[in-house]
Structure 1
């Protein structure tokens, strides 16, 4: 190989390596701090999170356990109804405002909060019931979740609140479920 061609190949290789190292790495070297990870355009579920989404479709809510890395399952018997609280609110239901505050804590944008709340509130009554939440979580499972705008918005919020790697793990999935469960309990005791 001639020296000219070898030199050009070396320069091309250096340019390629510099371009593929990403702007985040360059800014991290200059500023000393790494840029926060950007969420992936299409987010998927890990196999464990797929199982949790399937459980949601069967009426079981997966929440984070007290030990690191553990997940608890909270089920309701089929057809169980929620009791009414004073003021007409249902126990086991979270108001639209409380649900959007929960989504804010997970880093949802205003558009995502509106889209996700509308997707979970199937009967459009201004509250998200336990069953509506489970049905919404079940929509994040399977191939259709990659093309369902609602499912992608939910997955992106879960992913952003976690490690933003493009795959929602069981802990990221259970974190949103746990937050909803806590919001339900606060409503029930209010």
Structure 2
């Protein structure tokens, strides 16, 4: 059973037991805390807008925040963008080293175990660098059936923790991570 389904089943069970255990029920008929230990809310979700951004990533489109009023902009792989999209466009074909990627993860608050997990998850071909395509495929894993995997949950925890940490990844939190990756690639390519 996937962690997402298992978590939802646990929450539904807890709610059912709390409402079914009224004053007429004995404590012996209720589930005790020893039987089922509630787990912390570790399952994160994407807001509908962030889920759309993950869908764009699955189609090879990098969505990042612009400098004016945190607007969102999208750059398809290999396209020539305007000045606001220069960093994203410059990244095309230029991988980010795993060392630079781990520094990015540190800025987002990742610990050593998370950095190792996320670097390994994004570096699909294990060549020591993360291409824009690998990054987008990793982001796309946060959507749909794959959203409950350990890797996708770790990505969403990182994005949410660097935002408002409310258990749901908003579009701005999602785009902030994409923007930081694009800026890291642009810095490596020498684009300001």
State the TM-score, normalizing by the size of structure 1.
0.70
Q: Match of 1:92, SS?
A: coil
Q: Which residue of 2 aligns with 1:43?
A: 44
In structure 1, how many angstroms separate the alpha carbons of the residues matched to 2:43 and 2:63?
23
Q: Which residue of 2 aligns with 1:136?
A: 138
Q: Which residue of 1 aligns with 2:65?
A: 64
Verify the 8 A CA contact 2:54 2:139 in the aligned structure 1.
yes
Verify the 8 A CA contact 2:93 2:132 in the aligned structure 1.
no
| 1:184, distance to aligned residue in structure 2 (A) | 0.7
Q: Which residue of 2 aligns with 1:98?
A: 100
| 1:144, distance to aligned residue in structure 2 (A) | 2.6
Q: Give the number of equivalent residue pairs.
A: 140
1:181 aligns with 2:182: yes
| 1:77, distance to aligned residue in structure 2 (A) | 4.8
Q: Which residue of 2 aligns with 1:119?
A: 121
**Structure 2 unaligned residues grouped into runs of 5+:** 1-39, 80-91
**Structure 1 unaligned residues grouped into runs of 5+:** 1-38, 79-89
In structure 2, how many angstroms separate the alpha carbons of the residues matched to 1:186 and 1:65?
16
| 1:69, distance to aligned residue in structure 2 (A) | 4.0
| 1:151, distance to aligned residue in structure 2 (A) | 0.3
Q: Match of 1:123, SS?
A: coil
Verify the 8 A CA contact 2:95 2:185 in the aligned structure 1.
yes
Moved over 3 A (4+): none
| 1:109, distance to aligned residue in structure 2 (A) | 1.3
Q: Match of 1:72, SS?
A: strand
In structure 2, how many angstroms separate the alpha carbons of the residues matched to 1:40 and 1:189?
41
| 1:40, distance to aligned residue in structure 2 (A) | 4.6
